[in-house]
Amino acid sequence: MSLHTKNLAELSDELKNKKISSVELTQYFLDRIEKFDSELNSFVTVTKDHALAQAKKADEVIASGKAGPLTGIPIAQKDIFCTEGIKTSCGSKMLDNFISPYDATVVEKFNHAGAVMLGKLNMDEFAMGSSNETSFYGPVSNPWNTKCVPGGSSGGSAASVAARLTPASTGTDTGGSIRQPASLCGITGLKPTYGRVSRYGMIAFASSLDQAGPIAQTAQDAGLMLNAMAGFDPKDSTSVDKEVPDYTADLANDLKGLKIGLPKEYFGEGLDSAVGDVINSAIERYKQLGAEVIDIELPNSGLSVPAYYVVAPAECSSNLSRFDGVRFGYRCEDPKDLEDLYKRSRGEGFGPEVKRRIMIGAYALSAGYYDAYYLKAQKVRHLISDDFKQAFEKVDVIMGPTSPNVAFNIGERSDDPIAMYLSDIYTIATNLAGLPGMSVPAGFANNMPVGLQIIGNYFAESQLLNVAHQYQLNTDWHKQMPENYI
Amino acid sequence: MEWETVIGLEIHTQLATKSKIFSGASTAYGAVPNTQACAVDLGLPGVLPVLNKEVVTMAIKFGLAIGAEVAHRSVFARKNYFYPDLPKGYQISQMDLPIVGKGAVEIELEDGKTKTVGVTRAHLEEDAGKSLHEDYHGMTGIDLNRAGTPLLEIVSEPDMRSAKEAVAYMKKIHSLVRYLEISDGNMQEGSFRCDANVSVRPKGQKEFGTRTELKNINSFKFVEKAINIEVERQIDIIESGGKIVQETRLYDADKNETRSMRSKEEAMDYRYFPDPDLLPVEITEDDIKSIEKNLPELPAVKQARFEKDMGLSNYDAAILTSDKDLAAYFEQAADKSGQAKLAANWVMGDLSGRLNKEDKTITDSPITAEMLAGMIKRLAENAITSKMAKEVFDAMWNGEGDADQIIEKRGLKPADSGEVEKIIDEIIANNPDQVEQFKAGKGKVMGFFVGQVMKASKGKADPAQVNKILAQKLK
C-alpha cells in the first residue's frame, strides 16, 4: 500500500468509496511520521490518540453517507494555531508549557469539516524566520536534502507535506512564510487575500500582514483545504464578510488569453540564474497553454523589504508584550520583583531573532522615531499597493520566482539576518499589499525544487488555483517526491 | 503675591454596557475575582478584540450633548506599557482620531454666574484589571474582571480657576452622563473618577505655570481637597524660591496629601500606534442624526422647561435638574399633585433633608413620588394642616402606608371654624394685656395669639384660618 503517493483529492475518493477507512489512513500516516520524522523534525507534537479518535468519528460520518471532501482526511496544523487541550508552542520556549484552552477558528473549521489532526508542526519561533532555524525545537530538515533548510516560517508544514507525512497542512504567511517553504520543498502553497481566513486563535506575529493558508501537493488540494478555511469570522474584525466560492469550481477553465505580467524587478540582480531558467521555462509552458505574457513594472518593489522590517517588527513588539510570565507561558525561577520577573521571563523565554525584532519594533514606534519609520513604512505600503493596482489594470496574474535561491544549508545564513531577510524579497510585497499569492513546483535547480510564484488580484484565489491547476495538468513537477521518502 | 490656579480635568467614566468593550464578558460589578474575564480579557495567545458597537453610540450621545464634533472616522490605538493587571501589555485606547472632538459645558458658579468650560476631546478605551496588594503576603493578586470594561475619557481644557470650579465641572459631567444613561456614575465602584492637572501662576500672567497631574481621584470631596492641598504645596514651593517639577502625583485621602509617583523624565513612552486588529470606526451623518433624535431631554432644556411651564424659580429649577433621578421624582410628584411649587418645596426641603441625614439617594427614598403627591394634594385642599403634613410625611417614611391611610388611621382633620372660634374667644378673654398691646399697635403680639391657638388646638387648626379669624376679632 502506498497511500502517501496519493493526493488529498484521491484519498478523499478512496474514503468515500470505502476502499479504506479513516482510522487506517490515519494510522498509515502516523506510522510514516514515526518512521521518518526523527530525521526531519517537522512535528512538535504528534496527537496520536486525538487523531485516531477523530478518525473513528469520521468513519461513522462516512458510514452515514454524510461525508464531505475532508471527512476523515489526515492533516497537520502549524503550531501557531491554538488547539484546545493540546500544546500550542508557536515554536517558542515561551509557550513550551502552554496548553490552549480554546480552538482557533481555522482548527474549529477543520474539525467541523471532519478532518483528522495528526499533530502540530514545527515552525520558526513566533513565525519569525525564513529557514525554520529559530525554532526552540530545533531546525527542520528539507526532505530533498536533509542538510538544507525547508524554508520558513512554515518549515514543518512544508517539509511534512513534501515527505508525505501528511497529505496536507496549514501554514501562515506574514512575509512569505507559506510560499517560500513551499517553493524550497517542492510543494504547492497558497497565501490568501488578507482577511479571507480568520486570524482568531492564530498567534499573532504582525497583525496587519498575517494570513493563514493551505500547503498541499496540488492546487486542487489547496482549493479543497481553502474551502474549509475561508470565511468571515465575527471574532476577527479584520476578516472580510464576503461570500466564499467553491475554490475548485474554476479549476478546469482553460488559460487561453490569460494575461501574465512579468515584473522586471523580479528577474534582476540577486536572482540565482538556475532558478531564473526554471521560471522562464514555466512561463514558456504557460505560453503554450494559450497565455499572453506582458512585461510590467512594480517600481517600488525595492522598498518592500525595508518597509516590511519596520511594520512587522513594530506590530510584533506590541503583540508579544502579553508574554510576560504573569498569566501563562514561561516564567523565570524565583523572580526578585516585578521587573526581574519581566526581564528574565522574556529574556530567557524568547530566542535571539524574536528579541531582535521586538527591539527593532519598539525603536521604530518610540517617540521621535515614529514618523520617520512607522508612518513612512505605512506610506510605502500604499505605494506598493498602487504599483499592483496599476499592474492589474493590464494583466490577470503576475508571475515570477517565489524565492531568489533554492534551499540553502542549515546554518549558512543564521548569523546574517540581512541575507536571511532577502530570502523573502519576492514574497513580502504581496503581504504589504494584502494580495493573494501562490507557490507552485516548477522544476529543479541544483537538484533542489524551485517554486513559481503566482500573484493575483484581491480575492482572486479561484483564478490563482485555476492557473496553477492547468499548469499541474500539463507538468509533473508537483508529483516529484524526495527519494528517501518514497 | 496673588496667585491664580489653573486646572484641567481628565474624567474617566465607565460606560453602562452589559458586556465589555472588546469581548462578550459581563461588566457587572462585584463578582468573584477573575470570573468575568474571558479568553480575550486575559490576553491569551491568538485572541482578537471585537468592538462592542454600543460604546460608539454612547460616545456619540455624549459628543452631541456637549455640542462637540463627532468624528466620521475614528481610530483605536495601542498604548504600550507593562503592568501585571494589563494583560496584553497594551491598552486599547484612542490617540490621533478620538471619537469626540472639541465641545463645551456650562457650569454655575457660587455667585450665580455661569462659566463655559471647554472639552478638548473624549475618547474610548478599555479599563485595566485591578492589582490587590493586601492579603497576599508580599505578593500581588490580580483580578481581571474589570479588564476590558469600556471607558469614555473626557479631557477638559485648562479652563478652571479654583477647586470649586473643578468640582462644579465634574458634577456637571457626572449629571450629564447619567442623564444620557451612558454611565451609572457610581463613584464608590470606580465608574466615575478623574485625574486633575494643576498649576499656579501669578495673577495676570499669561503663560501657564508648570503643572502636576493628580491621579485617580474618585469623589467630588477629594477633588476639592486634593486640588487645594496641591495648590498650597505649589505656592509654598514657589514662594520659598523653589521650582515646580512636572510630575505625576498621587492623592492620599487618608493623610490628605499628594506625593510624587513619577517625574517627567521617568514618564513612559507609550509607543502609540493604530491597533491593526481593529478597523477604523466609520460614522455616517445618518448614524449621528438617528442618535440625536433619540437623545433624552438634557438638564439645561429641562431646567428651562421647569421654569417656564411650572413657574419654578431659576434656583429651584437648577437644583431639581442637577440630578436626573431627582428631576424625574420631582416631575412625577408635581404632575400627580398638580402643585409644582409645593412639590418643589417638599422635595428640596423635608425629603432631601431626610435623605441626606440617612445617607440615601432619591432612588432609595421610602416615600415614592406618588405617595408624596398624595400628601401634597391633601395639604393643598386643606384636608390637613402643614403640621399634620409633617406628621404624615414621617409616618410615610416609616412605612405606615400612603397619606390617605395615615390620615384616616390617625383621624387627622383640621379643626372646623366653630371650634377655632371658640378657642380664639377663650384666648382673647384670658389674655387682656396682650389684647391691649395689640390694639396699641404692637403687631408682633399677633404671633403670640397664633401660637396660643395652635397650641390649644393641638395643631389641628389651620394657621391661615387662625390668622384670619384673629385679625377680625381683634379689630
Please give the domain boundaries of chain B with CATH numbers for all domains: 3-289 (no CATH), 297-410 (no CATH), 417-473 (1.10.10.410)
Q: Taking CB atoms and an 8 Å cutoff, what residues of chain B touch A344?
A: none
- Chain B residue with minimal CA distance to A204? B46
Three cell numbers, residue B359:
445617607
A347 Cβ contact partners less than 8 Å away, ≥ 6 residues apart = A332, A355
Contact A366 B269 (CB under 8 A): yes
Q: What is the pLDDT of residues A165-181, one digit of tens each?
A: 999 999 999 999 999 99
- Chosen for mutation from B38, B50, B266, B273 (greatest number of chain A CBs closer than 10 Å) is B273
Q: For residues A145 and A423, is the Cβ–Cβ distance under 8 A? A: no
Q: What is the pLDDT of residues A283-323, one digit of tens each?
A: 999 999 999 999 999 999 999 999 999 999 999 999 999 99
Q: What is the pLDDT of residues A187-232, one digit of tens each?
A: 999 999 999 999 999 999 999 999 999 999 999 999 999 999 999 9
| First-residue to last-residue Cα distance in chain B | 65
Q: Taking CB atoms and an 8 Å cutoff, what residues of chain A touch B42?
A: 327
Domain ranges of chain A: 3-258+396-485
The question of whether A379 is a catalytic residue gets the answer no
Q: What is the pLDDT of residues B63-121, one digit of tens each?
A: 999 999 999 999 999 999 999 999 999 999 999 999 999 999 999 888 878 899 999 99
Q: For residues A108 and A149, is the Cβ–Cβ distance under 8 A? A: no
Three cell numbers, residue A284:
514558456
- Chosen for mutation from A200, A233, A321, A350 (greatest number of chain B CBs closer than 10 Å) is A321
A306 Cβ contact partners less than 8 Å away, ≥ 6 residues apart = A377, A380
- Chosen for mutation from A203, A310, A316, A327 (greatest number of chain B CBs closer than 10 Å) is A327
Could you tell me the CA-to-CA distances from B437 to A390, B44, B446, B466 in Å, in that order? 109, 90, 10, 19
| Bridge partners (DSSP) listed for residue A294 | A261
Instruction: Report how far Cα A194 is from the mean position of its chain's Cα atoms.
Output: 13
Q: Does A327 touch chain B (CB under 8 A)?
A: yes
Pick from A35, A34, A33, A15: which is nearest to A25 by CA? A15
With b meaning 16 or more CB within 10 Å and e meaning fewer, what string describes B41-79?
bbbbbbbbbbbbebbbbbbbbbbbbbebebbeebbbbbb
Q: Nearest-CA distance from B86 to chain A in Å?
A: 9
- pLDDT, position A1: 61
Q: Does A366 touch chain B (CB under 8 A)?
A: yes
Could you tell me the CA-to-CA distances from A228 to A76, A199, A232, A248, A455 in Å, in that order? 14, 14, 12, 12, 22
Q: Does domain A3-258+396-485 have CATH number 3.90.1300.10?
A: yes
Q: What is the pLDDT of residues A227-276, one digit of tens each?
A: 999 999 999 999 999 999 999 999 999 999 999 999 999 998 899 999 99
Could you tell me the CA-to-CA distances from B125 to A143, B22, B150, B213 in Å, in that order? 50, 10, 6, 20
Q: What is the pLDDT of residues B424-468, one digit of tens each?
A: 888 888 888 888 888 888 878 888 888 888 888 877 787 777 888
Q: What is the pLDDT of residues A80-123, one digit of tens each?
A: 999 999 999 999 999 999 999 999 999 999 999 999 999 999 99
Contact A101 B44 (CB under 8 A): yes
ipTM, 2 decimals?
Answer: 0.96
Q: Taking CB atoms and an 8 Å cutoff, what residues of chain B touch A326?
A: 84, 87, 142
Q: Taking CB atoms and an 8 Å cutoff, what residues of chain B touch A338?
A: 84, 140
Pick from B142, B123, B106, B173: which is nearest to B33 by CA? B142
The question of whether A317 is a catalytic residue gets the answer no
